[in-house]
Amino acid sequence: MTLGTFDGMHIGHQAILKKLKSKRTDSDCKVLVLTFFPHPRMVLKTNREILLLNTIEERIQLFKEFGIDYLIVQEFTPEFANLSAEDFVKDVLVDTFNIEKIVIGYDHHFGKNRSANIHDLIEFGKKYHFDVEQISAEELDHVSVSSTKIRKALDEGNVTLAKNYLGYPYMISGTVIKGKQLGRTIGFPTANIQIEENYKLIPAIGAYVVEVLIKAKTYYGMLNIGWNPTVGGNTQSVEVNIFDFEQDIYNQKITVCFLERIRDEKKFSSIEMLKKALHEDKLFSKRHIEKMK
C-alpha cells in the first residue's frame, strides 16, 4: 500500500503508484491506496487556507483510471488527526489492512502533529512485520513537481505548465445554470457553470481554450473566468462558449478541461469591440485545437 492526500494526482504521485503497481507482480498481494478527505489543512485550520486541485469525486475517478485494486478514502477528522503514530500503524495499517509492504516517500511524516518519519515507520515495520520501501529523494526530485507548484501555475493562468506537471489537462466540473444570457445576443451563447465545491481551485481570471465533456461526449470551446466588465458584470462567473453546439444543457453537469490560455480579461470600449475580440479568440482556439489533432 501507499498513502497520502494525492491532491492533483500529478506525475509525481503517478510515479509512486507505478512503483506500487510494479510490486503486485512480486506477490499475490493486492494494491491499496489510503487517501484522506477533507484535506488535513482544511480540518486543522492552519493559518494558510488551501484550495484543492481535485474534488474528491475527481480524485476517485483518477485512481479508478489508474488501475488501483483498492482505494480507501479515510475521513480526516480532529479525532483521526489525534492518533499517535504507533496507534495509526497498528490500528489502521496492520489490524485493518493487514499490510505486507508499504511504499512511501523519503520525506513522509505521519501521526499526531506529523511527529513520526520514515525511520520511525521502518522501526514499526520490524515490530509489526511489514516491509517499508522508501522512494528516494533522487527518484522524487527527478520528477520535480508538487501540488504547490501546480496551484501557483494555475493562480497565474499558466494551464500549459499545470498540464505538464499533472500529466493531463486541469479540469473543473459543475452544473449549467441560467445566467444573464447576454452572450447569445452577440452571437456567442455561453453555458454558465456553477461549481458546488468551494474548495476547488479556479484558474486565474482570463479566457482559455477548453475541451468540454458532456455525457461522455467531447466538444471544444472557449471559456471565460471573470467579471464581464464590458457589460457591467458585478459577480465573477465561469462561462463556456461550446463550438458547433445547440443543445439545451441547463441543470446538467459538465466537465471542462483547460488546454491553453488565450488572454487576460479586458474591458472593451464597446460591444462591437468585444465581439471583434471574441471572434479573434475563437480563431485562436480553433487553430490550437487543429494543432492538437
Residues 228-273 pLDDT 10s: 776 666 688 999 999 999 899 999 999 999 999 999 998 888 889 9
Mean pLDDT across the stretch 92-106?
Answer: 93
Residue type, 267: K
Please report the pLDDT score of residue 173 as a whole number.
Answer: 96
Percent composition of the chain: helix, strand, coil (DSSP 3-state, to 5) = 40, 25, 35
Helices 147-155/159-166 angle, 10° precision: 160
pLDDT digits (tens, 9 = 90+) for 52-63: 999 999 999 999
pLDDT digits (tens, 9 = 90+) for 73-88: 999 999 999 999 999 9
CA distance 246 to 214: 13
Q: Where is 12: in which H helix or E strand?
A: helix 11-23
Could you identify the residue written with the cell 507482480?
Answer: 25
Please report the pLDDT score of residue 168 as a whole number.
Answer: 96
CA distance 111 to 3: 13
Reduced to 3 states, what is the DSSP secondary structure of residue 75? strand
Q: What structural domains does the chain harbor? A: 2-145 (3.40.50.620), 168-292 (2.40.30.30)
Please report the pLDDT score of residue 156 as a whole number.
Answer: 97
Give me the percent of the chain exceeding a pLDDT of 90. 70
Backbone phi and psi for residue 82, each to the nearest 5 degrees, phi listed first: -85, -5
Please report the pLDDT score of residue 57 as a whole number.
Answer: 94
For the cut 80, the answer to whether the pLDDT of residue 138 exceeds it is no
Mean pLDDT across the stretch 86-93?
Answer: 96
Please report the pLDDT score of residue 22 as a whole number.
Answer: 84
Mean pLDDT across the stretch 147-164?
Answer: 96
pLDDT digits (tens, 9 = 90+) for 188-225: 899 999 999 999 999 999 999 999 999 999 999 999 99
Please report the pLDDT score of residue 141 as a whole number.
Answer: 66
Give me the percent of the chain exceeding a pLDDT of 70. 93
Please report the pLDDT score of residue 230 as a whole number.
Answer: 66
For the cut 90, the answer to whether the pLDDT of residue 26 exceeds it is no
Mean pLDDT across the stretch 34-50?
Answer: 85
Question: What average pLDDT does the chain have?
Answer: 91
211 within 8 A of 257, measured Cβ to Cβ: yes
Please report the pLDDT score of residue 187 as a whole number.
Answer: 80
Question: pLDDT category, 44, cuts 50, 70, 90?
Answer: confident
